[in-house]
A = this chain, B = another copy of it.
Amino acid sequence: MAVRHYTLDFKLSAPADHSATIRGLQSIFQEQEMTETVHDTEGHGYLATFMGKNGRLAILRLHSHGLVTFDLQCCEGDDLAQVDNLLNALEKKLNTLLQGTIQRVKRLPALQRGGEVDRYWPTADGRLVEYDIDEVVFDKDSAYQNIKILHSQQFGNILILNGDVNLAESDLPYTQAIMGNGREHYAGKEILILGGGDGGILCEAVKLKPKMITMMVIDACRTHMRKTCGNVLDNLKGDCYEVLVEDCVPILKKFVEEGRTFDYVINDLTAIPISTAPEEESMWEFLRLILDLSIKVLRPTGKYFSQGNCVNLTEALSEYEGLLRRLSCKVDFSKEVVCVPSYLELWIFYTIWKK
């Protein structure tokens, strides 16, 4: 049971003539045998709702400041060609009735509400975007988060953690960016990966003949993200890597105590929090802790890689950079803007090193 919600808006240079507009549209709604209700808006323009026999609901508003909005909600199984005809007829008629005052006509692709698959996964900077998702591959709550893997026609399987698009099979540019985009020489080096449960970083890193990769994850997605992880997660131990399915913090602390160090630390745990609101304080606290411990296990010539967030979230990014400047161990950093295909927004990646 899903609802398709259509919108058709006319932005005008002057308010529409209510009675002429309504009179002009009457025949269209009558033809559809829709029952009209005119509402008292207490001076806020004209509002009428129309109910059709098949559950169709139409809402016509003539705003006092020169905007006409039309909404049409129809239920699954409705005749879409007929709905299109109705919208075409309305658009055509309104184009005639409002002639000379029209600044913009906008008819958006229908919102699909309550459908079997959810196609709307807003960007980190809060924009509404629709994905070409056609299948729910996996959907489960772990002890830590909700894990979804959804299939997109163009991006392949997409991993979505707690509603955030994390990585799609199309997103090799993400993995390349968080490994330094080809600027590093991994051969013979020791690498620590925090998170990265999708296996993308591990899969690319083993190709570069490192001495040893240590990876710490709390879950894995080796079944549904094969294009990302290959067969590298089928075994938790390989010639040059070891996957520890454990919580990062205690292990990092143990490494610090033992004086164990790495050439590269790649933090793929999470993006930086999108705000500095109090409810995200604990996220920032966690980030600071991980950063601090990671820098401690980094060799003097080593590099620490991490994702930031959407390039538009300047406040959160500044907060993070402030944090970097206040670390107990002095560091320098550079950043890079990268287009990750499935994100539908540009993403910042950080490279951090000891001063």
- Say yes or no for A170: interface residue by CB 8 A criterion: yes
The answer to whether A125 has its CB under 8 Å from any CB of chain B is yes
With A and B bound together, what is the CA distance between A55 and B344 in angstroms?
34
In the assembled complex, which residues on chain B have CB atoms less than 8 Å from the CB atom of A47?
51, 57
CB-based contact A132/B127 at 8 Å: yes
B111 touches A170 (CB 8 A): no
Interface residues on A, range: 35 or more
Question: Are B51 and A49 neighbours in the complex by a CB distance under 8 Å?
Answer: no
The verdict on A3 contacting chain B, using a C-beta distance below 8 Å, is: yes
Known: A37-B37, A339-B170, A339-B341. A120 touches B108 (CB 8 A): yes
Stretch at the interface among A66-74, A222-230, A283-291: A66-74
Closest chain B residue, CB of each to CB of A5: B7
Smallest CB–CB gap between A85 and chain B, Å? Answer: 16
Kindly report which residue of chain B lies nearest to residue A66, judged by CB atoms.
B1
Most chain B CB within a 10 A radius of its CB, from A61, A118, A154 = A154
* Chain B residues whose C-beta falls within 8 Å of the C-beta of A53 in the assembled complex: 42
In the complex, the chain B residue whose C-beta lies closest to that of A11 is B114
Q: Pick 10 A–B contacts, CB within 8 A, sort by A.
A: A1-B63, A3-B69, A37-B37, A61-B73, A67-B113, A67-B114, A71-B71, A111-B128, A127-B130, A154-B312
Q: A: which residues have CB within 8 A of B? A: 1-3, 5, 7, 9, 11, 35, 37, 39-42, 44-45, 47, 49, 51, 53-55, 57, 59, 61, 63, 65-67, 69, 71, 73, 75, 104, 106, 108-109, 111, 113-114, 118-120, 122, 125-132, 153-155, 170, 173, 310-312, 339, 341, 344-346
